[in-house]
Amino acid sequence: NIVIFGETGAGKSSSVNLVSGTQTALTSCDATGCTTESNAYDVLIQNETFKLKVKLFDTVGLGEGPEGTVPDKDARRILKKLIRDLMKQTDIHLLMYCVRGVRVTKALCRNYNLIHSEVKERIPIVLV
């Protein structure tokens, strides 16, 4: 199980499509959010020597204002609930934090700390 999270427009859904090799997840070309709830995608990654089944969780974008598709406060609550539920039911193998650009911002740190406080050292978090 891989949970993909980040700010609105950071490329979470595009990452799902890249890993799956298909246009599975809905994407948009502007900065408005098009993912209004967490979506799970079963993906088979394979080559000549191995096959790996993974479940990718595409999440609501963080950082939208109160008038956004999903306001930030709601998006953060939804993401924390998804992570808590997955940790109780099954397991999360990786958290993939999609970020725009290379600058460290307050929002980047705040979002990282939000998730890190939920999972502590139990689940690796990568920035993409």
- pTM of the full predicted structure? 0.88
Instruction: Tell how strand 39-46 and strand 94-98 pair up.
Output: unpaired
Q: What is the pLDDT of residues 73-101, one digit of tens each?
A: 999 999 999 999 999 987 899 999 999 87
77: which residues sit within 8 A by CB, 6+ positions away?
A: none
Widest distance between CA atoms in the chain: 48
What does the buried/exposed string (b/e) look like for 74-83 if buried means 16 or more CB atoms within 10 Å of the residue's CB?
A: ebbebbeebb
Q: What is the pLDDT of residues 64-74, one digit of tens each?
A: 888 778 999 99
Residue 85 sits at φ, ψ, to 5 deg, of -60, -45
